Structure 1
Amino acid sequence: MKLPIKIALFLMALLSVMAACTNKNASQRATQTNTDKRYSYEYVKKISVTQPKKALQVLQHAEEHKLMSPIDINILRSKVYYNSMLDYKKATFYAEAALNDSDINNRPEQLMSLLYLAALEYYNCGNYAKCLNMADRAITTGYKYDNRRLVGQVLTTMGQCHSEIGNVGHAINCFDRSIIIFKGEVKKSPNWNLYYALTTSNALKANAYLEMKQYKELFQMKPEYEGTLNKLNTLPEGISGVNDLANATFYSIYAIGYEEMGNHAQGSALYDKLIVTRAANTPEGATFVVPYLMLTKHYNEALSKVNEMESVWTRSGKDTIDYNYIHNILANKAKTLQAMGRYKESLETGIRAYDLNDSLNRRIKAQNALRVSEQLGKKMLKKHIERQETLLRINHIANIVIGALLVICIGLMIIGFRINKKLKAKNQAASTLVKELLLYKKQLMDHLAADEANNAKNNRKTLEANDDKQQQYDEFLRMEKMVIDRGLFLQPKLERSDVAKEMGISTSHFNELFARFSDQSFTNFINDLRMEHAAKLLKDKSNYTIEAIANECGVPIRQTFYRLFSKKFGMTPAEYRNVVADE
C-alpha cells in the first residue's frame, strides 16, 4: 500500500464509525435531562473533526457537571483522539474504558460501533492481533443483532489487516463484500452515512488495486467509485469537513494511478483538484500530496510537506514512539531524502525510525503483558510470554541473518575495491600504450612527409623508374596524410568520393588504392582517426565535455562515440580522461 495514503484511508474508515450509531442511540441519549445542545452527543460528534480541542473542552465540562453519561464521554473522547488528534494510545485507552463499563451491554448499538472503533484504533497502533479480536467480536455482535451496516464496516477493517500482512487478494474480497452490503443498504435508505461508508469501501479497494499495480481493475472501478462520491457530495454532511476528505482521497489515488501509467496530463489534472481541497492544505495533507510529488520528482516540495507534518506533530507534544509517526512521517522522510541524494540524512532518519519502532514494540509488549495479567490471569500470561519469546527468537534469528548479510556486503565491497584497483592499473597501462601508438603514428607521418620532400628533389626519370606498385603505395600514404592534415576525418558524413575529390582522382581509382593497401574498411579507417584525435583532445582540453569532444571529432551521437572509443582503446572516454589526468 502506498504508505502516505494509509492514514487518509484509516481516517475515512474511522469517520464512518462516527455515523454508526442509529436512532436507537439517539433516543437513549434523548432521555437524559440535559437540554443544552452544546452538551449533546450529536453536537460533540459533529465538531469532533473540525474543532477537536473544543470538543474535548465540552466533554471535560460535561464530565465535571455530569451532563453526559460516562460511556458517551469515553466513546467521544476515543473518537476525537483517534480521528483528529492522531493519538492512538489515548484513543484505545478511552475505548477500553467504555467497553469495560458494565452498562455498555445494555446498549447493543453503541457496543457494536465501539468494537469497530477499537478495531480501527488497534490497527493504527500496529497491533493486528488485537484489531482482529475486536473485529471478530464486532461481527459476531453485528450478526446477533442483524446489523448489516456494522458487518460491512468491520469487513473494511479486516480487509486492511489482510492488506497489511500481504494478502491483498483476500483484502479486496473483504472490500467487495462490504461494497455489496452497503449497496443494498443505500437502496433501502439513501442517506449520507451509508453513502460515506460505501465511498470508504471503494477508496480502500481502489488503493489495494493501486498497491498491486492492477491498473486495469483500478480504472474499471473508477466510474462506480466516482459516481458514489458525486452522490455523497450532493447530500448534507453528517460530519463537517468529511466530504472534502473523501474527495481528496479520490483525487490522490487516481492522480498516482494515472502518473504510474504514464498518463501525466490526467495525473496532473487530478493533482490540481487535490491541492485545492481543504484537507490537502493542512499539515496532515502531506499524506495526500507526497506520493504524487515523489512520483513526479518534486522532492524538495515533498520534503517540505513531510517536515511540516513532523513539525506539527512535535509542537503538539505528541509521543514520537507512535506507529503513525514512525511509519508515515519518518519512513517517508527517509525515502524522500534518499531520492534527493542526501544519503547520510536518509540513513540517520531511517536509523531513528528503527530505534523508535523498537521502542514502540517493547512498549506494546509491556502493555499487552500487563493487560493479559490483569484480565486473563496467570495461565493466559504464560501463553502470552511464550508467544513473545517466540517472537524474540525470530528477531534473534533475523538479526543473525542481517549480520551475515552485512558481512557479505562488506566482503563484496572489498572485492569490488580490489577489482577497481586492478581495472585502474589496466587502464593506466592502456593509456600508456595509446600514447605510444599515437606518438609512433605521428613519427610515421613525419617520416612520410620527409620522404615526399626528398622525392620532390629527384628527377622525373627516377620517378618513372619506380615500379607501379610502389607509386600506388606512395599515393595511398599521401592520401592518408592528406586526410589527417586537412582534418577531413572530422566531417560527420565523410564519403569516399569526398576524399577522392580532394586528391584530384576518380572515385574508382581511390577505391582501388584503398582496397589494395588498407586492411580495414573505409568507415573503420575514418573512425580510428577520429578516436585517435579524441584521445588527444581528452588529454589536452580538460575543460571540454565529452559530448563536445564527440561533436568536434565528427561523431555527434553520444552512444556511438562511447562504443567506438571503448572498442579501440579498451576503456571509456571518461576512464581515459581520469587516467591521463592523474599522470
Structure 2
Amino acid sequence: MEKLRERKTLSPHRMDIVEGDLYFNTGKYYQALKFYKRALESDSVKADDKQYMEQVHRMISSYDCLHDELKKADYVKLLLQKAKACGNKEMESIALFNMGKMIYYQEDKKQGYELMNEAIELMKNTDYKYKYDNLRYNYNTLLIMQQRDNQYEKALKTLDLLEEIVTKDMEGTTDIGSLTDKEKKTMYAQRALILSRLGRMQEADEAYRAWLAIGDTYSKDDYLIIPYLMDRKLYDKVIEMNKAHEDFLYTHNDTVTYHMRTIKRSLGDAYEKKKEYKEAAKYFKDLAILIDSLKVREQKSSALELAKIYETHEKDMQIKEQKAKLEEQHIILVAILGVLFLAGLAFYLVIRHLRAIKRKNRFLARQIDSQLAYREELHKANEEIKQLLKQQHEPSLPIASGKQTQSREKEEDYGDIRTSAEDKKLFEELDRLVEEDKLFLDPNISRELLLNQLHISKNTFAQLIQAYSGTNFSGYINNKRLDYSIHLLKDYKRYTIEAVATDSGFSNVRSFYRIFREKYGMTPSEYRNTFEKE
C-alpha cells in the first residue's frame, strides 16, 4: 500500500477505499473505518451517488462488525434516504435489511422480519453485480433468526431458497473455487437439524448421510451438525468429532478461539447427557476459563488495533499524535491518581463503616444483656413476693379446678366473664408451665398442647397471649427461645450456631437467624463475636 501511494497508481480516495477493504477483510475494523471515513469525505465520492452509497454501505458493515448499533443506525438511515432519492433498489435493499436486523434485535421481531423479507424481494429484482452474495448473506441471517425463534417450517423454506441460489449456475457471477461444496455441507447440516426439530426423522437422517458423503473437508464447520447429533442422542459421535478437533487445535497451539469454545461446550453437553458428570464438569470449567481468556484477548486486540491506527497516520499528523499521546498519558496519570484516591477513600469508608457496625453491635449486645438481667431480677422479685404471700397464709385460687374448670370449658357458649386478676393469674400459670417444663424447646409445640393442660378456649388463649406478651403465640414461643439462645451463645462458646438453633427449639437455622436479627438488630454470630471481644 505504501508503494502504491508513492507511485500514485490510483486516486487518493480509491487508495483509501482499497486500504480500508484490506483492513476490513483482515478483521481490523477500527483501522478500516479510518480510511472509509476519509474516502466518504472526499469530493470525488460525494459527487458520485453510486460511489457515495457504496461507501456508506462499507461504513454500515464496519459498525455492524463492531456492534456499534447507534452509529450503524445513522448510516442505515442515510443510505435509505439516498437510495430512495436516487431510485437505487439494490442499496435500498441493503439499507432495509440492516434496518430489519436492528429492529429484530430490539425485540420487535415481527417488523424486523417484514423489513428483511421486503429487502430480499427488492434484491431479487435487481441486476446488482453482488446480488447473489447479498442474497446468500440475507438467507443465512434469516435462517439463524428463524431457528432461534423455533420457526422451523419457515426456516426450511428459507433453506430451500438458499440452496437454490447455491446449487444452480449463475451467469455473470464470479466462480469462487469450491465455495459451493462448502455451502452445501453447511446446508445439509442445517437441513438435518431443522427436519429433526420438525420430527421428520427419516428426512433428517437422509440429510445427515448427504452431509457425511461430502467427507472431512471444511471440518471447521462441523459444529453445525452437533445439534442434530444431540437430538438423535448420538453423544459418542459428538464426543468423537469434538475430541478430534480439540486434539488438532492443541497440536497447533490454537486453543484460545471461538472454535475451541464451541468444542468445549459441545463436549460438556454430550458428557452431561451421558450422565458422566465428572467429565462434563471438567469441560464446563475449561469453557468458563476460555470465555474469560477470549474476552481479555479481544480487549487487547482492540487496544492494539486502536494503537496501530495512530502509528499509520501521515507524517503531517505526527506532531498532533505526539501531543495526543502526551495528553493521553496525562489523563491516564490523573485517572490513576483519581482511582488511587477513590480506592483509599473507599477503604477508609469501609473501615469506618465496619467500626460503626462493631460499635452498634456492642451497644445492642449490652442492651440485650441488660434486658435479660432485668427480666431475671424481676422474676426473682416476683418469686419472693409469692413466697411472702404464702407465708402470710393468703388464700390462693387454683386455676384449673372444680367449677372454675367447668366454666372455662363453657366459655365459648356463655362468653368471657373472668376478671383481669383471673386473666393475669391464668397467664402466669401458662407462663410457668412453658418455662418450668421448657416446652418452648420443642420445635413441634402447639396451642392444642397448652389448651388441653389449661382447659381454656382458643379465643381466651389468644387473648391472654396478646394481652400479656404483646404478640401472638408464635412470637411468644420464639421470644422464649431467643432468651434461651442468648444463654447458649454466651455460656457455650464451642456450640455452632446450628447447634444453638436446634437446642433452642428452632426448626432450622435460617429461621433462627431471621427471627434473631428482627428482634435484636444483629445476627447470632455477630452477637457472639461481640460478646467474646467484650
TM-score by length of 2: 0.53
Q: CA deviation at 1:568?
A: 1.6
Which position in structure 2 is the counterpart of 1:5?
A: none
Which position in structure 2 is the counterpart of 1:316?
A: none
2:482 to 531, 545, 561: 531
State the SS of the aligned residue for 2:452.
helix
| 2:435 partner letter | I
Conserved? CA contact 1:248–1:280, under 8 Å: no
Q: How many residues align?
A: 401
Distance (Å, rounded) in 2 between the aligned partners of 1:307 and 1:524: 49
2:132 is the alignment partner of 1:198: no
Which position in structure 2 is the counterpart of 1:503?
A: 454
Which position in structure 2 is the counterpart of 1:304?
A: 286
Q: CA deviation at 1:271?
A: 8.8
2:476 is the alignment partner of 1:476: no
Which position in structure 2 is the counterpart of 1:429?
A: 363
1:236-286 per-position Cα deviation (integer Å, ceiling 9, x unaligned): 56266567789999xxxxxxxxxxxxxxxxxxx999469969899664335
Distance (Å, rounded) in 2 between the aligned partners of 1:178 and 1:498: 75
Conserved? CA contact 1:530–1:554, under 8 Å: yes
1:198-221 per-position Cα deviation (integer Å, ceiling 9, x unaligned): 2566699x7xxxxxxxxx9x9599
Q: CA deviation at 1:413?
A: 2.2
| Inter-CA distance 243–483: structure 2 relative to 1 (3 Å threshold) | farther
Q: CA deviation at 1:414?
A: 0.3
- Aligned CA-pair RMSD: 6.0
1:510-529 per-position Cα deviation (integer Å, ceiling 9, x unaligned): 45654664455544323322
Unaligned runs of 5+ in 2: 80-93, 99-117, 168-177, 191-223, 231-237, 250-254, 270-279, 399-418
Conserved? CA contact 1:534–1:549, under 8 Å: yes
Conserved? CA contact 1:248–1:288, under 8 Å: no
| Inter-CA distance 396–113: structure 2 relative to 1 (3 Å threshold) | closer
2:179 is the alignment partner of 1:238: yes
Distance (Å, rounded) in 2 between the aligned partners of 1:485 and 1:272: 68
| Inter-CA distance 114–568: structure 2 relative to 1 (3 Å threshold) | same
| 2:530 partner letter | V
* TM alignment of 1:42-53, pairs within 5 A: none
2:71 is the alignment partner of 1:167: yes
* Matched-pair identity in %: 16
Q: CA deviation at 1:130?
A: 2.3
Which position in structure 2 is the counterpart of 1:463?
A: 396
2:420 is the alignment partner of 1:486: no
Which position in structure 2 is the counterpart of 1:285?
A: 258
1:49-91 per-position Cα deviation (integer Å, ceiling 9, x unaligned): xxxxxxxxxxxxxxxxxxxxxxxxxxxxxxxxxxxxxxxxxxx
* TM alignment of 1:175-214, pairs within 5 A: 176-177=95-96, 184-186=122-124, 193-199=133-139
Which position in structure 1 is the counterpart of 2:327?
A: 393
| Inter-CA distance 239–225: structure 2 relative to 1 (3 Å threshold) | same
Q: CA deviation at 1:549?
A: 2.5
Please, which moves more after superposition, 168-177 or 569-578? 168-177
1:416 to 350, 367, 378: 350
Unaligned runs of 5+ in 1: 1-94, 207-215, 250-268, 311-324, 333-352, 374-380
Distance (Å, rounded) in 2 between the aligned partners of 1:300 and 1:130: 44
| Inter-CA distance 247–162: structure 2 relative to 1 (3 Å threshold) | farther
Q: CA deviation at 1:566?
A: 2.2
1:549 to 501, 508, 529: 501
| 1:330 partner letter | V
Which position in structure 2 is the counterpart of 1:126?
A: 30
Distance (Å, rounded) in 2 between the aligned partners of 1:547 and 1:223: 60
State the SS of the aligned residue for 2:522.
coil
Q: CA deviation at 1:400?
A: 2.3
State the SS of the aligned residue for 1:127.
helix
Conserved? CA contact 2:513–2:523, under 8 Å: yes
Distance (Å, rounded) in 1 between the aligned partners of 2:151 and 2:362: 61
State the SS of the aligned residue for 2:179.
coil
Distance (Å, rounded) in 1 between the aligned partners of 2:338 and 2:451: 68
Structure 1 or 2, whichever has the larger Rg, is 2
Q: CA deviation at 1:570?
A: 1.8
Which position in structure 2 is the counterpart of 1:403?
A: 337
* TM alignment of 1:239-388, pairs within 5 A: 241=182, 272=227, 283=255, 284-286=257-259, 289=262, 301=283, 304-305=286-287, 328-330=294-296, 361-366=306-311, 368-369=312-313, 372-373=314-315, 381=316, 383=317, 385-386=319-320
Conserved? CA contact 2:430–2:454, under 8 Å: yes
Distance (Å, rounded) in 1 between the aligned partners of 2:120 and 2:6: 30
1:304-352 per-position Cα deviation (integer Å, ceiling 9, x unaligned): 2476699xxxxxxxxxxxxxx9xx44257xxxxxxxxxxxxxxxxxxxx
Conserved? CA contact 1:128–1:161, under 8 Å: no
State the SS of the aligned residue for 1:419.
helix
State the SS of the aligned residue for 1:422.
helix
Distance (Å, rounded) in 2 between the aligned partners of 1:231 and 1:551: 73
Conserved? CA contact 1:158–1:171, under 8 Å: no
1:139-176 per-position Cα deviation (integer Å, ceiling 9, x unaligned): 98899797999779635524427743853533665764
| Inter-CA distance 499–114: structure 2 relative to 1 (3 Å threshold) | same
Higher RCO (C-alpha under 8 Å, 6+ residues apart): 1
Q: CA deviation at 1:427?
A: 0.9
Distance (Å, rounded) in 1 between the aligned partners of 2:66 and 2:134: 24
